Amino acid sequence: MPLPQEFHEIAERVNNWGRWGPEDEIGTLNLITEQAVRDAVGCVRTGRRIPLALPLRQDGVQTGMIPGRVNPLHTMTAINQEIFGPGTIATSDDAVTMGLQAATHWDGLTHVSYAGRLYNHRPADSVTAHAGATRLGMEKATPIASRGVLLDVARAHGTDRLPGGYAVTPEDLDAAEELADTTVRAGDLVLVRTGQIQHYLAGDREAYAFPSPGLSLRTPEWFHARDVAAVANDTLTFEIFPPEIENLWLPVHALHLVEMGMLQGQNWNLEQLSTACAERGSGAFFLCAMAEPFVGGTGTPVAPVAVL
């Protein structure tokens, strides 16, 4: 199915190719300047730290719906082994096999492509079987630490969880921004809460996966206008699933990753953060969400921490 004209018009309006030069490989992470980080530190009031990652476990969020995206398989490779001889200090070691986007993660700029292109006019075939992403890989992502802003769309709707299949609009983001008592600004890391992850936390992986609320096709322009550095939410697919336009799969991914060069994250647990932000009357905090530097990675697990 050809991409609709509406998609191409939005793509033209949000395109960042060449904005930071022809060799740029980090996109909107360029917006996390030293000044942005200094300003972000000013959000810390108590030093309270709130983890936002799901545990890495074999019965994790992946149901098999996405081929190859396997939950972590943890294996012990040594158990109290006296490797230097009897009576010496013993060691235990372990290994894990998992999809890099199995649980709480960032999607890299090579995670999707269309029309044979990646961000900043890179060819899609620069992703290879042996080397992975030879350009725009996750190892290029600069330290991701800046001001975080929680846009609690569910709470702004007066509910604990948006219904499955709800398309989050720019108007919803405006309402959540007002609730957060702050203004989203350049270099921010924006977290959008729908409440969908409550299904998974309650043990229902299938309900978590489908149907799911998520970001609509109209929202990339909202993030582009505010120069957001990266965005994440609490769903499996990030955008509304099934799609709002029949057979138009992953258009928000393509606009964010390919056109804007903006990382997006999924499976972030924002429940505790939602309560904490509501209690203190502000949705702004310091957020550290470092990418694991997998060379050639098209995505990466992340263990983000919000500091209030």
DSSP assignment string, 97-122: E--TTSSSEEEPTTS--BTTB-GGG-
Number of H helices, E strands in the chain: 9, 15
- Please give the pLDDT value at position 230: 98
The CATH homologous superfamily to which domain 5-66+99-289+299-307 belongs is: Putative cyclase (3.50.30.50)
- Please give the pLDDT value at position 1: 66
What is the 3 state secondary structure string of 53-91? CCCCCCCCCCCCCCCCCCCCEEEEEEEEECCCCCCCCCE
Q: The tokens of 305 are what?
A: 């921490």
CA 223 to chain centre: 14
- Please give the pLDDT value at position 39: 96
* Other C-beta atoms lying within 10 Å of the C-beta of residue 81: 12
**pTM here?**
0.96
Rounded CA-CA distance 233/245 in Å is: 21
Tell me the pLDDT of the chain (308 aa) as tens digits. Answer: 689 999 999 999 999 999 999 999 999 999 999 999 999 999 999 999 999 999 999 999 999 888 889 999 999 999 999 999 999 999 999 999 999 999 999 999 999 999 999 999 999 999 999 999 999 999 999 999 999 999 999 999 999 999 999 999 999 999 999 999 999 999 999 999 999 999 999 999 999 999 999 999 999 999 999 999 999 999 999 999 999 999 999 999 999 999 999 999 999 999 999 999 999 999 999 999 999 999 999 999 999 999 99
Listed by start position, the domains of the chain span: 5-66+99-289+299-307
Pairing of strands 127-128, 145-152: unpaired
